[in-house]
Amino acid sequence: MRIRIDSELCTGHGLCYSVAKTLIDYDERGYGVVIQPEVDASTMDEARRAIMSCPEQAISIVDE
């Protein structure tokens, strides 16, 4: 599974990278960017926290 951020929905609140530091960072404008796309059992809780923290619902986990 992979975590992704819809860049068209993201408005740069920064909540996602504050709760999922191993999966998400920010760019020069403060928008979230995925730095570790693979989500496994060890990072699933962190990915879920990122999803729950996003007011715009821009973060999702896709099964690829």
Domain count, the chain: 1
- Its pTM stands at 0.92
Cα separation, 17 vs 59, in Å, equals: 11
DSSP one-letter code for 64? -
Residue 33 and residue 27 in contact, taking contact as beta carbons nearer than 8 Å: yes
Cα separation, 14 vs 33, in Å, equals: 10
Range of the domain at 38: 2-62
Give me the helices (H) in the chain, please. Answer: 15-19, 44-53
CATH number for the domain harbouring residue 58: 3.30.70.20
Give me the percent of the chain exceeding a pLDDT of 70: 100
- The confidence score (pLDDT) of residue 41 equals 97
